Amino acid sequence: MSDNNDRNQVINELTTSEYKYGFVSDIETDQAPKGLSEKTIQFISAKKNEPEWLLEFRLKAYRHWLTVKEPDWALLHHPPIDYQDIIYYSAPKAKKKLQNLDEVDPDLIDTFNKLGISLEEQKHLSGIAVDAVIDSVSVKTTFQETLAKHDIIFCSFSDAVKHHPDLVKKYLGKVVPYTDNYFAALNSAVFSDGSFCYIPKGVRCPIELSTYFRINAANTGQFERTLLIACEGSYVSYLEGCTAPMRDKNQLHAAIVEIFTMDNAEVKYSTVQNWYPGNKEGKGGIYNFVTKRGLCKGHHSKISWTQVETGSAITWKYPSCILKGDFSVGEFYSVAVTNNYQQADTGTKMIHLGKNTKSTIISKGISAGKSNNSYRGMVRISKNADNARNFSQCDSLLLGNQCGAHTFPYIKSGNDTAIIEHEATTSKISDDQLFYCQQRCIGKEKAIGLIVNGYAKQVLNKLPMEYAMEARKLLAITLEGSVG
Amino acid sequence: METTKTTYILKKNLTDYYYSVVAPHLKKENHKVAELRKTAMEYFVEVGFPHTTMEHWRGTNLQEVYNQNLKIKTEAEVYNKTLSDIFLCEVHGFDTRVISVLNGFFYAPENKQLVTFENGVVAGSLARAQNVFPQLFEKYFGLLTRNYRHAFTALGDALFTDGVFVYVPDNVRVENTFQLIKILNLPQLATNTRNLIILGKNSKLTFLHCDDSINHQSGLSNTVSEFFIGENAELKLYKLQNLNDESALINNTFIKQERNSLLNMNVLSFNGGLIRNEITVNLDGEGASANILGLYLLDKCQHIDNQAYIYHNVPQCQSNELFKGILDDEATGVFNGSIYVARNAQQTKAFQRNNNILMKPTAHIDTMPFLEIYADDVKCSHGATVGQLNTEALFYMRQRGISFDDARLLLLYAFVAEVADKIDIVALRISIEDMIKRRLRGELSICDRCVLHCSQPAKPMEIEIDLSKI
């Protein structure tokens, strides 16, 4: 019995650590008034000097949004969101146009340093191009020159609208149309910034591209949009990270990511999501409703999603692949950790349209505290997707007896040559495994860390190295004191 | 809400039927039954028929059923000829006690409407039993159904014309198999029947539920069944479904299991225009265990929808689910298995598997094996596959001189045998195996007799393969 208590204590310790990114930076912001109306949208559009067609797109999306209902099929419980109580635009006040890093607001740099993303350092040492988005606006993109050498466009969404309107116009809303779902419509109406990336034909992006999102101001929502286009034969690895300060009130984050891959192109999209998850009593935290979708348009193209989800009070996120090109490949690797009162309903959609398409889904859920963690994924094989192949594996690990782990796979097959396999297991850390470790003089805490780390390894290994380190750190923070 | 003209008319007809035919007789019924009819009708009026925008009905479109201009038969069937004159159904070498329901009414001579056997077992018409055994109805009737998920369960409760009542007292182990034969032989008929089967402590019952049609006319058969399995009791439940291609069958089965009880259930769907089996198992006593097997072999434009909800409400229960299906031609299938493990249901073991083979590019299957788990000391897993015959195995056999057809048949048979082999009544297994073989050969695409009675029972079907070559 005492042994049991001991273990409970270890698990308690593991699962009750504090959020480390909860500071607030004192940065002056430029905000839209609270509430959502056509006026707000016009305000945002005017603020950003947008062309007519984009405003038109926003307004269409807004009008559509008014006609649809918030989805309720996910296993998530939260009080209704008051969409009129949110500030839809908040930007750090620009003093003047920035030319280089030295001109960035020192407070801002400080913020990013605290987050462990020193823009300066990143620039010189690690060789990752960073686009940092604070509140709603992209504040700094590093490594522009190197990228320019390869004709790679990597800039904030607003810059892209200004400098590459044709590209934006051609691809915006083509994978995630504003009619797609409630939150996609909302985002399309009010998105304020985000990243834009265009990899030209035959270019293998020499450095990893990265975006950092941070919500700073209170009562704001963040609605960013990422558009990533990989032309024939190109390759890019794209990273995304996010944090927010600790606030008592829930904040809304509704983003869209759209990816296009042409013939033989490959995109690797990695996310380390660490929005503020709320405190131990479940107060505060970010509501994270994200639509991410990639279109494998060309033959032999590939999109690989890797995500480590540790933050957010509520996660509603299904990065998907539409496998349209023949021989295209979709991958989804996910580790989702929920603790305290966090709720996650996350998974993927693999839509097989082309022949000989292949998809792999590996999802690892870890629930602790009083949280609920659901995997919800769909594999659809259309009539013409001959020889399509899917393998899915969804495992859940329960730490403690107050949490829940759920699996909701949807498999739809309309082709007799397709092979689909799905398997899932749910278990806790087995006594045998613990005993084995302890026999070999590995303490309980360390053993649990070891087992959790081993459990998530299959996914963590898919992350680029810098992120794998960060993801491990995050796992360690969420399940304090053991992992490392 | 999605309402079409035909659904509106059907809804109105059913509501009218309730107020003109059912409601005036409520006073004559057991008050529990009357109450349930009322609340169920209120639910139906409020919610209406399910449609494809509802999450659990996405895969099953009933519009064609609604379009059929269905009617309800108001007067009971008069018993004027024996059942075997209407319908021949027997398993050779297998003795069963047959109870039959014809067009929604209990079909038996007057003196056999409700029979009490010498060992205390009661079997007969539900409509009669409600006033003979009021305590049992008080305690059990409607206990499991009342939280309606959709209109069909409610309709069964509100409008049922009759059904079967079986009561097995404590410590009675019934050796004979009870066979319920449900037949429709009138066109465009909508029937609602209600069954209540109660097993006392340490009892045992084998129940065979056959749904058949004996002509090619369309119709809707909606059945709501409640099974209560007492402590240490054992229920073997076989469902055989062999209807014509025009008919629609909706089966709502609710089961409650007490301590250490055992349920072995087989759902075998061979033919039917549209079949929906909804199985809800409540494991409410520690040590209860449920084994649910399903097999579906469909072709043409048939559709099957199997929904299984298993609730592990207490610790130390076990459930096993295995559904296997072969879909040919334009057949479509849906499987939705749901395992729910409650907060304190520790040491639960729950397994769920669904395997499918698609024979043609036009066949379609949706499978959704769900797990919802709130306890940590559990072993739960699920798996689902959709595929086709192993080409290497086919090649291996063809290399050894086995014709393509035989090789294919052998592989298909091996695929379904995992379910068929678990039928533990030998005579029944033999005739079902025979059925499967015929079905796979396409010889049984529509059997207008009972599924169990095939034309040449003396000569069982063989797959003619010279095994010495392998």
Mind giving me the DSSP string for A414-437? --TT-EEEEEEEEEE--HHHHHHH
The answer to whether the CB atoms of A410 and B366 lie below 8 A apart is yes
Residue A187 is encoded by which pair of tokens? 């985002």
- Confidence (pTM): 0.83
Return the closest-CA partner of residue A15 out of A483, A484, A480. A480
Plot region of B111 (φ>0 → left; ψ -120 to 50 → alpha; else → beta): alpha
Return the closest-CA partner of residue A233 out of A196, A205, A270, A197. A205
Average pLDDT, chain A: 81
Residue A130 CA to residue A139 CA, distance in Å, equals 10
| Closest CB to A409 among B369, B373, B378 | B369
Residue of B nearest to A418 (CA): B387
pLDDT score recorded for residue B458: 43
Residue A10 CA to residue A481 CA, distance in Å, equals 9
Return the closest-CA partner of residue B382 out of A53, A421, A62. A421
**Cβ pair B220, B7 in contact under 8 A:** no
Amino acid at B89: C
Residue A72 CA to residue B127 CA, distance in Å, equals 41
Amino acid at B157: D
Q: What is the DSSP string of B282-343?
A: EE-STT-EEEEEEEEEE-TT-EEEEEEEEEE-SSS-EEEEEEEEEE-TT-EEEEEEEEEE-T
The answer to whether the CB atoms of A424 and B382 lie below 8 A apart is yes
pLDDT score recorded for residue A96: 43
Q: What is the ipTM of this complex?
A: 0.79
Q: Which residues pair with B274 in a beta bridge?
A: B248, B303
Residue B21 DSSP code:
I
Is the Cβ of A355 closer than 8 Å to some Cβ of chain B?
A: no
Q: What is the DSSP string of B438-450?
A: HHHHTTTS--SS-
- pLDDT tens for chain B, 470 residues long, are 456 888 888 888 888 889 988 888 888 888 889 999 999 999 999 988 888 888 888 888 888 888 888 888 777 777 777 766 666 555 555 677 888 888 888 888 888 888 898 899 999 999 889 989 999 998 999 999 888 888 899 999 999 989 999 999 999 999 888 988 888 878 888 889 999 999 999 999 999 998 877 666 778 899 999 999 999 999 999 998 888 888 889 999 999 999 999 999 999 988 888 999 999 999 999 999 999 999 998 888 889 999 999 999 999 999 999 999 998 888 999 999 999 999 889 999 999 999 999 888 888 999 999 999 998 888 888 888 888 888 888 899 889 888 888 888 888 888 988 888 888 888 888 878 887 887 777 665 444 444 444 444 445 555 555 555 55
B433 to B130, B295, B439, B449: CA distances (angstroms): 39, 12, 10, 17
Return the closest-CA partner of residue B377 out of A376, A59, A400, A263. A400
Amino acid at A142: T
Helix (H) or strand (E) holding B148: none
Residue A42 CA to residue A388 CA, distance in Å, equals 45
- DSSP-based three-state secondary structure for A53: helix
The answer to whether the CB atoms of B379 and A399 lie below 8 A apart is no
Q: How many other CB atoms sit within 10 Å of the CB of residue B81?
A: 9
The answer to whether the CB atoms of A409 and B368 lie below 8 A apart is yes
Mean pLDDT value across residues A36-60: 88
The answer to whether the CB atoms of B343 and A401 lie below 8 A apart is yes
| Closest CB to A404 among B360, B373, B379 | B373
- Optimal mutation site among A426, A427, A432, interface B, most CBs of chain B within 10 A: A426
Residue B216 is encoded by which pair of tokens? 């090619």
Using the predicted structure, report yes or no on whether residue A35 has a pLDDT greater than 90: no
Which residues of A36-127 form beta strands (DSSP E)?
90-92
> Of A97-111, A275-289, A399-413, B455-469, where does the model show the most confidence?
A399-413
Amino acid at A384: N
Residue of B nearest to A377 (CA): B368
Using the predicted structure, report yes or no on whether residue A28 has a pLDDT greater than 70: no
Residue B12 CA to residue A260 CA, distance in Å, equals 51
B13 to B21, B22, B44, B70, B190: CA distances (angstroms): 11, 13, 13, 9, 11
Residue B325 CA to residue A57 CA, distance in Å, equals 47
Using the predicted structure, report yes or no on whether residue A275 has a pLDDT greater than 60: yes
- DSSP-based three-state secondary structure for B461: coil
Burial A291-314 (b: 16+ CB within 10 A, else e): bbbbbbbbbbbbbbbbbbbbbbbb
Using the predicted structure, report yes or no on whether residue A15 has a pLDDT greater than 80: no
CA triple A208-A210-A213, angle to 5 deg: 170
| Closest CB to A408 among B346, B365, B370 | B370
**Cβ pair A228, A191 in contact under 8 A:** no
pLDDT score recorded for residue A22: 62
**Cβ pair A141, A130 in contact under 8 A:** yes
Plot region of A382 (φ>0 → left; ψ -120 to 50 → alpha; else → beta): beta
Residues in chain B, how many? Answer: 470
List, as ranges, residues 408-467 from A with C-beta within 8 Å of B.
Answer: 408-428
To the nearest whole angstrom, how far is the Cα of B320 from the nearest Cα of chain A? 14
Please give the share of chain A, as a percent, with pLDDT higher than 90: 31
Q: What is the DSSP string of A117-157?
A: --HHHIIIII-EEEEEEETTEEEEE--HHHHHHTT-EEEEH
**Cβ pair A21, A274 in contact under 8 A:** yes
- Optimal mutation site among B371, B388, B390, interface A, most CBs of chain A within 10 A: B371
- DSSP-based three-state secondary structure for B162: strand
Q: What is the DSSP string of A269-318?
A: EEEEE------TTS-SEEEEEEEEEEEE-STT-EEEEEEEE---SEEEE-
Query: With the C-alpha atoms ordered B403, B404, B409, B411, is the resulting torsion angle positive or negative?
Result: positive
The answer to whether the CB atoms of B386 and A75 lie below 8 A apart is no
Which residues of A fall within a CB distance of 8 Å from B371?
Answer: 396, 405-408, 424, 426
Using the predicted structure, report yes or no on whether residue A230 has a pLDDT greater than 90: yes
Q: Are strands B234-242 and B204-213 parallel, antiparallel or unpaired?
A: parallel
Size of interface A-B (CB pairs under 8 A): 117
B4 to A59, A91, B1, B8, B239: CA distances (angstroms): 33, 50, 10, 6, 33
Return the closest-CA partner of residue B430 out of B450, B466, B459. B459
Mean pLDDT value across residues A422-441: 86
| Orientation angle between helical segments A2-15 and A444-460, nearest 10 degrees | 50
Q: Sorting pLDDT into bands at 50, 70 and 90, what band is A298? A: very high
Backbone angles phi, psi at A443, to 5 degrees: -60, 160
Contacts of A380 (CB under 8 A, 6+ apart): A349, A350, A351, A352, A410, A412, A413, A414
Return the closest-CA partner of residue A260 out of A289, A288, A238, A290. A238
**Cβ pair A346, A376 in contact under 8 A:** yes
Residue A434 is encoded by which pair of tokens? 């613990």
Using the predicted structure, report yes or no on whether residue A85 has a pLDDT greater than 70: yes
- The more confidently predicted of residues B76 and A254 is A254
